[in-house]
């Protein structure tokens, strides 16, 4: 909000009040000054909760540790996950440089979907047919959609190098002012993953924005929707194909996927794809790639 000059009416009104008020103005000014000081202090406190450079990151992280400790995260988990975490300016550059989502659908699809991606997807559908059939029976999501998401996210696991520390990335993005609230939630969910014993802190490596595994679950979605589908006692989205496919299906079902219905534009299931990725070009690419995999 910009504070410009008062309008003529406001200026006249102010003058009238000053001349007719029964309370002397010398008593009003200390009250007004106190209110202004309180507002300025509140604004400064809010501003301190995020930053556009790394200068205030360490003090922010100290406050964050105290906050999650008060919320019930153990000191052991806080130490395992957050000790030595530093601000990563590379993550900010990557966050500001997501230009592919500004492409037209035709450009985006040509860049992301190749004949080799489709052919490998068809082979994987045949290889995992029994698992995919069971998943569709339980969650209602067809194989073509799951294989499309798997291929688009990481080229069926080929692009999950785990180069980035998930905790460092999320802490950097949570501190950054652009989407602080969103990534604060994701960072706390990452701590919950460690706290609940789903994954050790040492395994929290993945995409630059904090994504986990071959279909790139953010931590909050992992906590809510990841499932152990191969029965080994772990929700392993990094190595277990049954787990990652079933978890992806569980995510879509949890967001309203309707079994036995289509996934094209205008359908309820197409709308669910927006919960997977907000970019319209990505939603349409999943839909069209699933069509190609099904032979349409």
Report which of 238, 170, 242 is spatially closest to residue 209, judged by C-alpha positions: 170
162: left (phi over 0), alpha (psi -120 to 50) or beta: left
Give dist(CA 190, CA 235) in Å, integer.
Answer: 14
Number of domains present in the structure of the chain:
2
**139 located within any domain:** yes
Does residue 249 share a domain with residue 198? no
Residues 138 and 248 in one domain: yes
Assigned domain for 133 exists: yes
149 plus 107 within the same structural domain: yes
82 and 170 share a domain? Answer: yes
- Same domain membership, residue 151 and residue 239: yes
The tokens describing 276, both together, are: 């997977």
125 and 177 in a single domain? The answer is: no
Q: What is the CATH number of the domain that holds 116?
A: 1.10.530.10
Q: In this structure, is residue 170 part of a structural domain?
A: yes
Inter-CA distances, 246 with 9, 98, 149, 260, 278, Å: 65, 28, 12, 17, 21
Q: Is 77 within the bounds of a domain? A: yes
Does the predicted TM-score (pTM) go above 0.85? no
- Cα first-last separation, the chain: 52
Domain boundary at 182, 212, 242, which? 212
In terms of domains, do 234 and 136 share one? yes
In a domain, 42, yes or no: no
Inside any domain, residue 155: yes
Q: What is the pLDDT of residue 24?
A: 44
Total residue count of the chain as it appears in this document: 296
Matching residue, tokens 């798997």: 150
> Is 47 a member of any domain?
no
User: Is 130 among the domain residues?
Assistant: yes
Which pLDDT score, from 0 to 100, does residue 99 have?
78
Q: Same domain, yes or no, for 156 and 232?
A: yes
Position 100 scores a pLDDT of 76
Consecutive sets of 10 residues in the chain, 296 residues long: mean pLDDT of each?
36 36 43 46 53 95 97 97 97 89 92 97 98 98 98 92 92 97 98 97 94 97 98 96 98 98 96 95 97 90
Range of the structural domain that residue 249 is part of? 99-160+227-293
What pLDDT, on a 0 to 100 scale, did the predictor assign at position 295?
Answer: 84
The reply to whether 193 and 236 lie within a common domain is no
Render 206-241 in DSSP notation, one character per residue. Answer: E-TTS-BTTTTB-HHHHHHH----SSSSS--TTT-H
Q: Both 235 and 135 in a single domain?
A: yes
Domain boundary among the residues 171, 188, 212 is at: 212
pLDDT of residue 161: 67
Phi-psi region of 155 (alpha: psi -120 to 50; beta: other; left: phi over 0): left
Whether residue 168 is found in the same domain as residue 72: yes
Shared-domain flag, residues 289 and 170: no
């Amino acid at each position: 909000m910009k504070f410009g000059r008062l309008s003529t009416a406001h200026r006249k009104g102010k003058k009238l009040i000053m001349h007719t008020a029964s309370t002397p103005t010398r008593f009003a000014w200390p009250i007004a000054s106190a209110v202004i000081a309180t507002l300025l202090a509140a604004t400064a406190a809010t501003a301190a909760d995020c930053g556009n450079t790394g200068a205030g990151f360490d003090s922010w992280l100290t406050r964050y540790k105290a906050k999650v400790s008060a919320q019930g995260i153990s000191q052991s988990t806080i130490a395992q996950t957050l000790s030595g975490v530093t601000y990563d300016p590379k993550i900010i550059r990557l966050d500001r440089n997501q230009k592919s989502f500004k492409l037209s659908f035709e450009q985006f699809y040509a860049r992301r979907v190749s004949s080799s991606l489709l052919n490998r997807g068809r082979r994987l559908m045949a290889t995992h047919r029994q698992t995919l059939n069971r998943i569709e029976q339980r969650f209602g999501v067809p194989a073509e959609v799951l294989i499309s998401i798997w291929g688009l996210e990481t080229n069926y696991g080929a692009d999950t190098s785990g180069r980035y520390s998930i905790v460092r990335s999320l802490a950097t993005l949570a501190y950054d002012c652009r989407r602080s609230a969103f990534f604060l939630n994701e960072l706390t969910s990452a701590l919950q993953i460690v706290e609940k014993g789903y994954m050790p802190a040492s395994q929290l490596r993945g995409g630059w924005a904090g994504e986990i595994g071959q279909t790139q679950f953010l931590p909050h979605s992992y906590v809510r929707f990841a499932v152990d589908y191969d029965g080994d006692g772990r929700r392993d989205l990094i190595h277990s194909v049954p787990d990652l496919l079933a978890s992806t299906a569980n995510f879509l079902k949890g967001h309203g996927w309707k079994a036995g219905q289509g996934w094209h534009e205008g359908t309820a299931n197409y709308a669910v794809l927006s919960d997977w990725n907000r970019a319209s070009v990505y939603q349409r690419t999943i839909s069209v790639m699933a069509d190609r995999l099904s032979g349409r």
